Structure 1
Protein backbone atom coordinates (compact mmCIF):
# COMPACT_ATOMS: atom_id res chain seq x y z
CA UNK A 1 0.00 0.00 0.00
CA UNK A 2 1.05 3.57 -0.56
CA UNK A 3 0.17 6.37 1.83
CA UNK A 4 -0.10 9.90 0.48
CA UNK A 5 1.21 12.45 2.98
CA UNK A 6 0.75 16.09 1.93
CA UNK A 7 3.67 18.14 3.28
CA UNK A 8 3.77 21.92 3.38
CA UNK A 9 6.55 22.31 5.92
CA UNK A 10 4.16 23.01 8.80
CA UNK A 11 4.48 21.30 12.17
CA UNK A 12 1.13 19.64 11.53
CA UNK A 13 2.25 18.13 8.22
CA UNK A 14 5.37 16.74 9.88
CA UNK A 15 3.14 15.27 12.62
CA UNK A 16 1.28 13.48 9.80
CA UNK A 17 4.58 12.09 8.47
CA UNK A 18 5.44 10.82 11.94
CA UNK A 19 1.99 9.22 12.25
CA UNK A 20 2.35 7.46 8.88
CA UNK A 21 5.81 6.24 9.90
CA UNK A 22 4.34 4.91 13.17
CA UNK A 23 1.75 2.95 11.17
CA UNK A 24 4.57 1.33 9.19
CA UNK A 25 6.62 0.73 12.34
CA UNK A 26 3.56 -0.97 13.89
CA UNK A 27 3.33 -3.42 11.00
CA UNK A 28 1.44 -1.78 8.13
CA UNK A 29 3.15 -2.77 4.89
CA UNK A 30 3.31 0.57 3.17
CA UNK A 31 5.54 3.12 1.53
CA UNK A 32 4.94 6.86 1.66
CA UNK A 33 4.35 9.40 -1.08
CA UNK A 34 5.40 12.79 0.25
CA UNK A 35 3.60 15.44 -1.78
CA UNK A 36 3.97 19.19 -1.91
CA UNK A 37 1.73 21.38 -4.03
CA UNK A 38 2.96 24.85 -4.88
CA UNK A 39 0.52 27.64 -5.69
CA UNK A 40 0.41 28.53 -9.37
CA UNK A 41 2.45 31.55 -10.42
CA UNK A 42 0.74 34.87 -9.87
CA UNK A 43 0.18 37.34 -12.66
CA UNK A 44 2.89 39.52 -11.12
CA UNK A 45 5.39 36.64 -11.22
CA UNK A 46 4.48 35.84 -14.80
CA UNK A 47 4.95 39.48 -15.84
CA UNK A 48 8.24 39.86 -13.94
CA UNK A 49 9.97 36.64 -14.91
CA UNK A 50 8.66 36.01 -18.47
CA UNK A 51 10.11 32.50 -18.37
CA UNK A 52 7.77 29.60 -17.57
CA UNK A 53 10.71 27.22 -17.06
CA UNK A 54 12.32 29.56 -14.54
CA UNK A 55 9.04 29.85 -12.62
CA UNK A 56 8.70 26.05 -12.65
CA UNK A 57 12.27 25.66 -11.37
CA UNK A 58 11.60 28.11 -8.54
CA UNK A 59 8.43 26.24 -7.55
CA UNK A 60 10.24 22.89 -7.70
CA UNK A 61 13.06 24.24 -5.52
CA UNK A 62 10.56 25.55 -2.98
CA UNK A 63 8.79 22.18 -2.93
CA UNK A 64 12.06 20.29 -2.49
CA UNK A 65 13.00 22.57 0.40
CA UNK A 66 9.64 21.99 2.14
CA UNK A 67 9.99 18.21 1.73
CA UNK A 68 13.52 18.01 3.20
CA UNK A 69 12.56 17.41 6.82
CA UNK A 70 9.85 14.89 5.91
CA UNK A 71 12.34 13.04 3.70
CA UNK A 72 14.88 13.01 6.52
CA UNK A 73 12.28 11.48 8.86
CA UNK A 74 11.53 8.71 6.35
CA UNK A 75 15.20 8.00 5.71
CA UNK A 76 15.96 7.85 9.44
CA UNK A 77 13.08 5.40 9.91
CA UNK A 78 14.23 3.28 6.97
CA UNK A 79 10.84 3.60 5.27
CA UNK A 80 10.60 3.66 1.49
CA UNK A 81 9.17 6.89 0.08
CA UNK A 82 8.73 8.88 -3.09
CA UNK A 83 8.42 12.63 -3.49
CA UNK A 84 5.94 14.43 -5.70
CA UNK A 85 6.00 18.17 -6.30
CA UNK A 86 3.16 19.74 -8.23
CA UNK A 87 1.85 23.19 -8.95
CA UNK A 88 -1.80 24.18 -8.94
CA UNK A 89 -4.88 23.95 -6.78
CA UNK A 90 -3.86 21.74 -3.82
CA UNK A 91 -6.96 19.55 -3.42
CA UNK A 92 -7.19 18.59 -7.09
CA UNK A 93 -3.46 18.03 -7.42
CA UNK A 94 -3.32 15.88 -4.27
CA UNK A 95 -6.22 13.76 -5.51
CA UNK A 96 -4.48 13.40 -8.88
CA UNK A 97 -1.24 12.32 -7.17
CA UNK A 98 -3.12 9.81 -4.98
CA UNK A 99 -4.72 8.27 -8.06
CA UNK A 100 -1.56 8.27 -10.20
CA UNK A 101 0.51 6.71 -7.41
CA UNK A 102 -2.16 4.15 -6.48
CA UNK A 103 -2.42 5.35 -2.88
CA UNK A 104 -4.80 3.57 -0.54
CA UNK A 105 -4.77 6.14 2.27
CA UNK A 106 -4.16 9.85 2.85
CA UNK A 107 -2.60 10.93 6.15
CA UNK A 108 -2.46 14.67 6.70
CA UNK A 109 -2.24 17.36 9.32
CA UNK A 110 -5.42 19.04 10.54
CA UNK A 111 -4.13 22.47 9.61
CA UNK A 112 -1.31 23.55 7.39
CA UNK A 113 0.03 26.84 6.18
CA UNK A 114 -3.16 27.86 4.39
CA UNK A 115 -5.03 31.06 5.11
CA UNK A 116 -7.90 29.55 7.12
CA UNK A 117 -7.16 30.94 10.56
CA UNK A 118 -9.20 30.23 13.64
CA UNK A 119 -10.58 26.92 12.40
CA UNK A 120 -10.02 23.44 13.71
CA UNK A 121 -9.58 21.96 10.24
CA UNK A 122 -7.73 23.53 7.33
CA UNK A 123 -9.46 24.11 4.01
CA UNK A 124 -7.40 21.47 2.17
CA UNK A 125 -8.01 18.85 4.89
CA UNK A 126 -11.72 19.68 4.90
CA UNK A 127 -11.98 19.40 1.11
CA UNK A 128 -10.04 16.12 0.99
CA UNK A 129 -12.32 14.63 3.65
CA UNK A 130 -15.28 15.35 1.39
CA UNK A 131 -13.79 14.75 -2.06
CA UNK A 132 -11.38 11.83 -1.67
CA UNK A 133 -12.56 8.38 -2.67
CA UNK A 134 -10.13 6.74 -0.25
CA UNK A 135 -9.72 6.89 3.53
CA UNK A 136 -8.33 10.12 4.97
CA UNK A 137 -6.71 10.25 8.40
CA UNK A 138 -6.43 13.69 9.99
CA UNK A 139 -3.59 14.07 12.51
CA UNK A 140 -3.91 16.77 15.14
CA UNK A 141 -0.84 18.40 16.64
CA UNK A 142 -0.15 16.96 20.09
Structure 2
Protein backbone atom coordinates (compact mmCIF):
# COMPACT_ATOMS: atom_id res chain seq x y z
CA UNK A 1 0.00 0.00 0.00
CA UNK A 2 2.84 2.32 -0.84
CA UNK A 3 1.79 5.88 -1.55
CA UNK A 4 -1.10 5.83 0.89
CA UNK A 5 -0.89 7.67 4.19
CA UNK A 6 -3.40 6.57 6.75
CA UNK A 7 -4.37 8.54 9.83
CA UNK A 8 -7.15 6.34 11.20
CA UNK A 9 -7.46 2.62 10.58
CA UNK A 10 -10.60 0.77 11.61
CA UNK A 11 -10.41 -2.95 12.37
CA UNK A 12 -13.71 -4.80 12.51
CA UNK A 13 -13.12 -7.40 15.22
CA UNK A 14 -15.35 -10.31 16.22
CA UNK A 15 -12.81 -12.69 17.75
CA UNK A 16 -12.63 -14.98 14.71
CA UNK A 17 -9.39 -16.24 13.18
CA UNK A 18 -9.77 -13.86 10.22
CA UNK A 19 -10.41 -10.94 12.58
CA UNK A 20 -7.12 -11.79 14.28
CA UNK A 21 -5.39 -11.73 10.88
CA UNK A 22 -7.05 -8.40 10.08
CA UNK A 23 -5.81 -6.94 13.36
CA UNK A 24 -2.27 -8.13 12.65
CA UNK A 25 -2.39 -6.59 9.15
CA UNK A 26 -3.60 -3.27 10.57
CA UNK A 27 -0.82 -3.33 13.17
CA UNK A 28 1.76 -3.81 10.40
CA UNK A 29 0.40 -0.73 8.66
CA UNK A 30 0.17 1.40 11.80
CA UNK A 31 3.45 0.49 13.49
CA UNK A 32 5.46 2.57 11.00
CA UNK A 33 3.82 5.83 12.08
CA UNK A 34 2.98 6.38 15.75
CA UNK A 35 0.43 9.05 14.81
CA UNK A 36 -1.87 6.52 13.13
CA UNK A 37 -4.92 5.84 15.27
CA UNK A 38 -5.96 2.22 15.42
CA UNK A 39 -9.71 1.85 16.00
CA UNK A 40 -10.89 -1.63 16.93
CA UNK A 41 -14.64 -2.12 16.71
CA UNK A 42 -16.66 -5.03 18.04
CA UNK A 43 -20.35 -5.17 17.20
CA UNK A 44 -22.78 -7.08 19.40
CA UNK A 45 -25.32 -8.22 16.86
CA UNK A 46 -28.97 -8.77 17.74
CA UNK A 47 -29.82 -12.35 18.67
CA UNK A 48 -32.93 -14.22 17.60
CA UNK A 49 -35.68 -14.16 20.20
CA UNK A 50 -35.41 -17.91 20.92
CA UNK A 51 -31.96 -17.30 22.44
CA UNK A 52 -33.62 -15.23 25.17
CA UNK A 53 -36.33 -17.69 26.23
CA UNK A 54 -34.45 -19.79 28.80
CA UNK A 55 -32.13 -17.20 30.33
CA UNK A 56 -34.00 -13.97 29.82
CA UNK A 57 -33.16 -10.98 27.66
CA UNK A 58 -31.22 -9.01 30.25
CA UNK A 59 -29.07 -11.98 31.31
CA UNK A 60 -28.10 -12.74 27.72
CA UNK A 61 -27.29 -9.10 26.99
CA UNK A 62 -25.25 -8.78 30.17
CA UNK A 63 -23.24 -11.97 29.54
CA UNK A 64 -22.51 -11.03 25.92
CA UNK A 65 -21.43 -7.54 26.95
CA UNK A 66 -19.17 -8.87 29.71
CA UNK A 67 -17.50 -11.30 27.29
CA UNK A 68 -16.97 -8.51 24.73
CA UNK A 69 -15.59 -6.17 27.41
CA UNK A 70 -13.02 -8.76 28.48
CA UNK A 71 -12.02 -9.51 24.87
CA UNK A 72 -11.56 -5.86 23.96
CA UNK A 73 -9.71 -5.06 27.20
CA UNK A 74 -7.25 -7.86 26.44
CA UNK A 75 -6.69 -6.51 22.93
CA UNK A 76 -6.10 -2.98 24.18
CA UNK A 77 -3.66 -4.22 26.82
CA UNK A 78 -1.79 -6.35 24.26
CA UNK A 79 -1.31 -3.29 22.02
CA UNK A 80 -0.28 -0.90 24.79
CA UNK A 81 3.44 -0.94 23.96
CA UNK A 82 2.81 -0.17 20.29
CA UNK A 83 2.90 3.57 20.88
CA UNK A 84 -0.04 4.36 18.60
CA UNK A 85 -3.34 5.73 19.86
CA UNK A 86 -5.59 2.68 20.36
CA UNK A 87 -9.35 3.15 20.52
CA UNK A 88 -11.57 0.17 21.28
CA UNK A 89 -15.32 0.38 20.94
CA UNK A 90 -18.20 -1.99 21.48
CA UNK A 91 -21.51 -1.12 19.86
CA UNK A 92 -24.80 -2.93 19.41
CA UNK A 93 -26.57 -3.48 16.11
CA UNK A 94 -26.12 -5.07 12.72
CA UNK A 95 -22.35 -5.42 12.15
CA UNK A 96 -22.33 -4.45 8.48
CA UNK A 97 -24.18 -1.18 9.12
CA UNK A 98 -22.34 -0.33 12.33
CA UNK A 99 -18.93 -0.80 10.70
CA UNK A 100 -19.81 1.59 7.86
CA UNK A 101 -21.37 4.12 10.28
CA UNK A 102 -18.42 4.01 12.65
CA UNK A 103 -15.84 4.42 9.89
CA UNK A 104 -17.64 7.44 8.46
CA UNK A 105 -18.41 9.04 11.83
CA UNK A 106 -14.78 8.80 12.96
CA UNK A 107 -13.27 9.78 9.59
CA UNK A 108 -11.35 6.54 9.22
CA UNK A 109 -9.40 6.32 6.00
CA UNK A 110 -9.04 2.52 5.91
CA UNK A 111 -11.19 -0.39 7.06
CA UNK A 112 -9.49 -3.73 7.67
CA UNK A 113 -11.63 -6.82 8.19
CA UNK A 114 -11.83 -10.53 7.59
CA UNK A 115 -13.68 -11.92 4.60
CA UNK A 116 -15.79 -14.00 7.00
CA UNK A 117 -16.44 -13.68 10.69
CA UNK A 118 -17.99 -15.90 13.28
CA UNK A 119 -21.11 -16.26 11.11
CA UNK A 120 -19.36 -18.91 9.01
CA UNK A 121 -21.37 -20.79 6.40
CA UNK A 122 -24.58 -18.91 7.20
CA UNK A 123 -23.03 -15.77 5.72
CA UNK A 124 -22.44 -17.49 2.38
CA UNK A 125 -26.20 -17.80 1.95
CA UNK A 126 -27.34 -14.53 3.47
CA UNK A 127 -24.63 -12.19 2.17
CA UNK A 128 -21.53 -11.39 4.14
CA UNK A 129 -20.71 -8.43 6.32
CA UNK A 130 -17.54 -7.75 4.34
CA UNK A 131 -19.46 -7.69 1.06
CA UNK A 132 -21.93 -5.18 2.49
CA UNK A 133 -19.15 -2.95 3.82
CA UNK A 134 -17.31 -2.90 0.48
CA UNK A 135 -20.53 -2.05 -1.35
CA UNK A 136 -21.73 0.67 1.05
CA UNK A 137 -18.67 2.70 1.95
CA UNK A 138 -16.40 5.02 0.01
CA UNK A 139 -13.57 4.28 2.43
CA UNK A 140 -10.89 1.91 1.11
CA UNK A 141 -11.45 -1.53 2.59
CA UNK A 142 -8.77 -4.19 3.00
CA UNK A 143 -10.36 -7.66 3.16
CA UNK A 144 -8.28 -10.45 4.72
CA UNK A 145 -8.75 -14.07 3.59
TM-score scaled by structure 1? 0.79
Whether the 8 Å contact between 1:4 and 1:35 is mirrored in structure 2 is yes
Whether the 8 Å contact between 1:7 and 1:66 is mirrored in structure 2 is no
User: Which ranges in structure 1 are unaligned for 5 or more consecutive residues?
Assistant: none
Count of aligned pairs: 137
The structure 1 segments of at least 4 consecutive aligned residues displaced by more than 6 Å after TM superposition are none
Q: Distance in 1 between matches of 2:44 and 2:118?
A: 12
The corresponding residue for 2:79 is 74
TM-score scaled by structure 2? 0.77
The Cα of 1:96 is off from its aligned counterpart by 1.4
Map 1:123-134 onto structure 2 (within 5 A). 123-134=128-139
Alpha-carbon RMSD: 2.6
Q: Classify 1:66/1:123 alpha carbon distance in 2 versus 1 (closer, same or farther; 3 Å).
A: farther
Matched, 1:83 2:88: yes
The Cα of 1:89 is off from its aligned counterpart by 1.0
The corresponding residue for 2:25 is 19
User: Which ranges in structure 2 are unaligned for 5 or more consecutive residues?
Assistant: 1-6
Matched, 1:6 2:21: no
The Cα of 1:57 is off from its aligned counterpart by 3.0
